Structure 1
Amino acid sequence: MDLSQWLGWLIAVTVLPPFVVSLLTIYPVRRFAVQLGLVARPGGHSTHTNVTPLGGGIGIWAGIVVTFALGTLAVALVRNNVALQSHLPDQVVPHLEGVWSRVTQLWWLLAAGTVLTILGVIDDRGGVNPWLRLAVEFAVAAFVVYGLNFGLTAFISIAWLTKVLSVIWIVGLINSFNMLDNMDGLSGGVAAIIATSMAIVMLTTTDPGTSQPQLFVAAMLLVVCGSLLGFLWHNRPPAKIFMGDGGSYLVGFLIAVSMLMATYASSDGSRPHAMLAPLCAMAVPLYDMTTVLWIRIRQGRSPFVGDRSHFSHRLVELGLSRTQAVLTIYLVTGTCGLASILLTHVELTQAIMVIGIVGCMLLLVIILESTQWQSDEK
């Protein structure tokens, strides 16, 4: 399939609708944020200086759900209508039945994501006990893994272990994006870069069973990206609204599940190292979460209590402006995203080099930050 012939069409139907819906939906959320109790006030570990609306996640959720509702309706109308199919690219028509067969799964996923969005909005309004929050996250993740049968394909023959790792993966990514949401444009921008990178992986890595691009997963990631771009219009510095827990939980969940739904290795099994692509793409959020938890635990503080020990805050303390810190993290994330794309298309020797580049880049960051960590521990 020659993607270049209809890539513009794919972007038009997966990125533009959620972008528009998210962008427009957030305007009323901003206007009524105070009445909804969705406001972030200065103080504590927060670095912003003005009262700022929360609830950007509502717009992100609307962009994703409305787009998939329209898409579901469109596929239902077109799949048995030859006249309407004539308006679609020829390469898309054979995939209509395959997409339709996964609609039920899609809406169960969106329902699970909606539960997390509601949990996050409640957390934004008045806070939720961290143990209850984790319990809900694990319950939703377990539903996806055990109920919908999504899980890692990591060449591990022990079924129960892959399922447990899959649940941990989902919960870990939910919280990594939540913890990354600490500066204007940061979590949303990083998530958009990761979603785009992984969508490219899906479009350029064929499913061994069909030898076709993984359109369903790619479409999900591109819809998430489009909705995030609509949110970033409002969240760019100085932010008019924050994503809030409702948005970060949803985005982390959908990206995590999309990575579980995907196939990375080639059909002949010659590139098993491709399964590391999600880890490369997620290197920055996972690095931030790991180092923050390490710093908090080492200093004898609760891992659940927010602070200013995040990657972005540490870059600012090293002398960067907040905008420079965010752009630096974008650059590192983009590099890791490119590495994830390369990893699915190279042989073992080149893959070792790609992984080595990512490892050296993260090690360089650690070395640059080590002085600041030492001063924090004194």
Structure 2
Amino acid sequence: MLKMLLGLLLAGGITLTATPWVRRQAFRWGAVDRPNARKVHKDVMPRLGGLAVYAGFVTAVLVTIQPTRSLYGLLLGMTLIMLLGALDDLRGLSPRVKLAGQVVAAVVLLPLDVQVYFVTNPFNGHIVDLGWLGIPITIFWVVAVTNAVNLIDGLDGLAGGVSCIAALTMAVVGWTQWQVFGAAGQREVIMLALMLAAALLGFLRYNFHPAKIFLGDSGSMLLGYTLAVMAIMGLTKSVTAVSVLVPLVILGIPLLDTFFAILRRYHRHRPIFQPDKEHLHHQLLALGLSHRQAVLVIYGISALLGGSAVVLNLVATDQALALLVILAVVVIAAANKVGVIGRAPEKDRQMSSRL
């Protein structure tokens, strides 16, 4: 308990203290985000916020958690992904270079025992050994979540807050698996998730609207990567029937927003990596919500999905599958209603004229 408290204080305190220094250095080094037609902010903003989150989280981990091979894998990959993001914040990198760097950061996990070795069939509860298929699945999962969190980083405090809620949810789910099902290896993930949440709370002091600093790619990719790896280290190793689905629900906002963006761009014959202004946060702003209101609405949706993930982990398999069906129907209907899946061309033109 004392180690946990020390870890939380270190993660939150160091991030809170380091963020103003990182902000000054970002201006000095030219790591700034300039406004354009697609972006919401109007002023030049410093990036590199991920440096402060990294410093607080990693320091807390090194001081309070006994090192293991998987923990070394997490820290090594986090360092690589943070440096990749920092380089993008400073100089700008092409999507292909960033993707290649993300794949490398995912591959380094494999020899350090961070891999999806099996999944549990949610329909019959049988364990399915993935064998060599675990390698591409692990790489795809890490890269997908890394990019998903990166893509939702469009409003002050959005990616940081959603990631904080996801981390807290992982801690609760890990605790229930540990206490109720006796799932091994959850204590480490619980501590990691809580310390990440503490670091993010320290950063949100400066990042919530009106933000004084952005996460930048050094932060948004770092958060996505860390959440993806923690899910592999803990949640996917549970033998409960719906364990394979729990991380998908916890990370529902970034994953679904990215999925709908891909469908939208494919349907319109646009490049997958071409940015647009039709993500969930853009659509909420177009509906008339203020910057802060849009962020709080998405926080609420994330908390609802987090609560659903906890329930999925506790109820019987048939009840869990029924809840998943209800969630899927509600999410698709809501996404279509606000225009995240895609609008008709006439509505696109009307929206563009208002923006």
Fold-level similarity (TM above 0.5): yes
Q: TM-score, normalised by structure 1?
A: 0.83
What is residue 123 of structure 2 aligned with on the other side? none
The alignment's C-alpha RMSD in Å is 2.3
Structure with higher Rg: it is 1
User: Residue type matched to 1:26 in 2?
Assistant: T
Match of 1:118 among 83, 86, 89: 83
Contact 1:265 1:273 in 2 (8 A): no
**Alignment-derived partner of residue 76 in structure 1:** none
The residue that corresponds to 1:170 in the other structure is 142
The whole-number CA distance in structure 1 between the counterparts of 2:100 and 2:206 is 32
Partner letter of residue 40 of structure 2? Answer: T
Whole-Å separation in 1 of the counterparts to 2:312 and 2:167? 16
CA 1:265–1:358: 2 relative to 1, 3 Å: farther
Q: Are 1:274 and 2:218 counterparts? A: no
Structure 1 gaps, min length 5: 1-5, 73-99
* Match 1:109 to one of 74, 78, 102: 74
Instruction: Name the counterpart of 1:351.
Output: 320
Q: Partner of 1:154: helix, strand, or coil? A: strand
Q: Is the 8 A contact 2:117 2:130 kept in 1?
A: no
Query: Equivalent residue for 1:339?
Result: 308
Deviation of 1:350 (Å): 1.9
- Further displaced range: 120-129 or 29-38: 29-38
Q: CA 1:139 to 1:377, structure 2 compared with 1: closer, same or farther past 3 Å?
A: farther
Give 3-state SS (helix, strand or coil) of 2:253's partner: helix
What pairs up with 1:314-329 in 2 under 5 angstroms?
A: 314-329=283-298
In structure 2, the residue matched to 1:235 is 207
Task: Write the distance in 2 (CA, Å) between the matches of 1:314 and 1:229.
Answer: 26
Cα deviation, residue 212, structure 1: 5.9
Instruction: Report deviation, 1:235.
Output: 0.4
Q: Structure 1 pair 265/147, CA: closer, same or farther in 2 (3 Å)?
A: closer
**Does the 8 Å CA contact 2:173/2:310 hold for their aligned counterparts?**
yes
- 1:150-206: per-residue Cα shift (whole Å, max 9, x none)? 225314334122221111000000000000100001000000000100111111102
Letter in 2 for 1:308: K
State the distance in 1 between where 2:251 and 2:71 align. 23
Residues 359 and 26 of structure 1: is their aligned pair in 2 closer, same or farther, counting only changes over 3 Å? same
The 3 A distance-change label for structure 1 pair 302 and 212 is: closer
Aligned CA distance change for structure 1 residues 152 and 48 (closer, same or farther; 3 Å): farther
Q: Secondary structure at the match of 2:330?
A: helix
Residue aligned with 1:274, SS: coil
* Structure 2 letter corresponding to 1:255: L
Structure 1 residue 24 corresponds to structure 2 residue 17: yes
In the alignment, the residues of structure 1 paired with residue 223 and residue 103 of structure 2 have an alpha-carbon distance, to the nearest angstrom, of 16
Partner of 1:91: none
Can you list the C-alpha shifts for 1:65-88, whole angstroms capped at 9, x where unaligned? Answer: 11122225xxxxxxxxxxxxxxxx
**Which deviates the most, 245-254 or 304-313?**
304-313
Identity percentage of aligned residues: 31
**Aligned residue number for residue 192 of structure 2:** 220
Distance 1:235 1:289, change over 3 A: same
Aligned residue among 176, 180, 187 for 2:152: 180
Partner of residue 138 from structure 1, selected from 91, 97, 103 = 103
Q: Using structure 2 for the length normalisation, give the TM-score.
A: 0.89
Which of 191, 206, 211 in structure 1 is aligned with 2:178?
A: 206
Contact 2:72 2:112 in 1 (8 A): no
Query: Which letter maps to 2:73?
Result: W
Distance apart, 1:369 and its partner CA: 2.1
Tell me how far apart the structure 2 counterparts of residues 173 and 26 of structure 1 sit (CA, whole Å): 25
SS in 2 for 1:308: coil
1:256 and 2:228 correspond: yes
